[in-house]
Amino acid sequence: LLEALFISMGLGRVALSLLGASKFGWLLVLGAFMLVSWVAEKWATSDTSKGMQYAGLILYTVAEAVIFLPMITVAMVMTGDVGLVLQAGLITIAMLLGITVVAFTTKKDFSFLGGMLKIGGFIALGLIVASFILPITIGLWFSAAMVIFASTSILYNTSNLIHRYQPGQHVAASLSLFASVALLFWYLLRLIMSLRE
């Protein structure tokens, strides 16, 4: 809903032109997003007040809407194919449901995946930064690997929701699961767009 509002206001094209002005535009956006994500997570896991927790979730949701704006604009407006976003959304929902069923039916604690996800996250971040500095391109195979990474993250976070989070930590649990689902959608959309080219 927030994304649709931003696009209808023309902010998608503005974001694209700002990002196109510098080779390092996306790198700056990524850095700002990481900072905002860190603040949002601190607020969402805060024991001080529910208001602060929800403020963290809202901050993160707005940050996600902003970072998705250029890619969704390209997918919808520049390619002229609104169906790309719908396809990525439907596949994301189907995968989320499947992973959730696995987490709930196996009743297994998948918290052991945390260390692997941290290492994988640092490797992915390193490759992303390297792609801005070095003459390398991360494309189809990177997106496919990140779909697997995001799916693993969903399994990990869903398992934590079942086994680790306490009843009063629902906002933090929501934020972590939302972040994983958004990551899955991002890379599914990239994958679909790459396959279309």
Give me the pLDDT at residue 174, please. Answer: 94
Q: What is the mean pLDDT of each run of 10 residues along the chain (197 residues)?
A: 85 81 79 90 86 93 90 81 90 98 95 96 93 86 96 97 89 94 95 86
For residue 78, what pLDDT is reported? 67
Q: What's the confidence (pLDDT) of residue 149?
A: 97
Domain regions of the chain by residue span: 2-196
- Give the per-residue pLDDT at 80: 78
CB 148 within 8 A of CB 111: no
The C-alpha torsion from 46 through 123 and 68 to 150, rounded to 10°, is -80
